[in-house]
Amino acid sequence: MSRAAGRGGPLLTRRDLLRAAGVATGTAIMGPTLARAVPPPWPLPVPTWLTGPIASADPGSIAALPVCRYRDEPAVGDPDTDWATMVLDTIHRLGPDDRPRRLVSVRKAGIASELGARIIPAAVDDLRALHDASVEAGAEVAIRTAYRSYAQQATVFSHWVAVSGERHARTISARPGHSEHQLGSALDFSGAGDPRAPWDHADWGRTAPGAWMREHAWRFGFVLSYPKGMTDRTCYAYEPWHYRYVGRHLAQAIQGSGLTPREYLWATFPGPTGA
Ligand SMILES: [Zn+2]
C-alpha cells in the first residue's frame, strides 16, 4: 500500500487535516495561491465520513498545488479506504500491487460495456442512477473502460509512446501507477450504441451523451477529472469522457468550488504530513 507518504511541512496528522477540511469555507484551508483562484467563500459541505468536533489547523501549513511535473512519489492514502480522496497525478502514483480489494462488473449497474469493465462496488448504485437518468434524457451513456491494473496501464502508456512519442504520450495518458483507473473508480464513458470511441470524436463533450455528462454527472457523484482549458492545473489534455467517482457529497463540493478535482482534493485531503 502507498500510505503515509510525507509532503514535508509540519507535523500535522491526517486526522488533524481531515478535521480542518470540515470548516465551513474552503479558503481558510487553501493557502494563498488557491485562495486567489476562487471567489471566497463558497459553501463547502462536510463530507459524510468526517465526523467529530472540528479542530483548526494552520492554513499556511498546507502546501499549495504543485506545478505539473513528472515524479514517482507515493500517493497519499490507502486505495481501499481513500479511493475518493487520493490525488493521483503526474507526480503521485500507486504501487504495482495496489488494487481494489473487490471489483464488480459495470453491468451490475445496468449499463452496457463491450469490454467487460469492472468498478468498485461502492460506485454501482450511483452509476445505475446516472445511467437511468441519461436514458431518460435521450443521451444514453455506456462504459468504454473502467478499472485498469498497473500492468494494463503500462501497456496502454507504451502504446501511446509508440504512437506519438513519450513527450506527447505523457499529456494524454498516465504512466503506470499514475492512473485514476487503478483505483477502480474512474470510468471512460461513451455514447450507447456509438461504434466510435469517445477519443475518436473531435470533442466527445459536444455529443449529446458527452454534453449531458458534463452538465449532470456530478449530481450522481462523478466528476470530470480533466476539463477543457485546465491542463496547467490537471497536467493532462482535455478528456471529456474520463470521470472519477467520488460520491455525491464530495462531487457536489468539488462542483461548487469551481476547482478541478485535482486542486480540490489536494487542498482538502492532503493526507499525513511528517507522520
Ligand atoms: Zn480514463
Q: Ligand 1 centroid to 243 CA: how many Å? A: 7
Q: pLDDT value at position 271? A: 55
Q: Ligand 1 centroid to 61 CA: how many Å? A: 32
CA separation for the pair 222, 234 (Å, rounded): 16
CATH of the domain at 147: 3.30.1380.10
Closest CA to 224 of 194, 254, 266, 200: 254
Is residue 81 scored above 50 in pLDDT? yes
The domain containing residue 63 runs over which residues?
14-268
Q: Ligand 1 centroid to 250 CA: how many Å? A: 20
CA separation for the pair 254, 261 (Å, rounded): 6
Instruction: State mean pLDDT over 249-257.
Output: 96
Of 63 and 70, the structure prediction assigns the larger pLDDT to 70
Q: pLDDT value at position 63? A: 55
In percent, the amount of the chain with pLDDT more than 90 equals 69
Q: Which residue blocks in the chain are alpha helix, DSSP H?
A: 14-20, 27-37, 124-136, 150-164, 166-172, 208-216, 231-234, 248-257, 261-268
Is residue 235 scored above 70 in pLDDT? yes
Closest CA to 244 of 145, 133, 103: 145
Scanning the structure block, which residue is given the C-alpha cell 505539473? 68
Answer whether residue 5 is part of any domain. Answer: no
Answer whether residue 50 is part of any domain. Answer: yes
Answer whether residue 205 is part of any domain. Answer: yes
Query: Which cell goes with 161?
Result: 509512446
Average pLDDT, the chain: 81
Scanning the structure block, which residue is given the C-alpha cell 499529456? 171
Segment 85-116, tens digit of pLDDT: 999 999 999 999 999 999 999 999 999 997 78
The answer to whether residues 101 and 80 touch, using CB atoms and an 8 Å cutoff, is yes
Q: pLDDT value at position 116? A: 84
Flag the least confident range among 79-83, 147-151, 238-242: 79-83
Domain count, the chain: 1
Q: Ligand 1 centroid to 188 CA: how many Å? A: 5
Answer whether residue 186 is part of any domain. Answer: yes
Neighbours of ion ligand 1 (CB under 5 A): 188, 242
Confidence of residue 152 (pLDDT cuts 50, 70, 90): very high
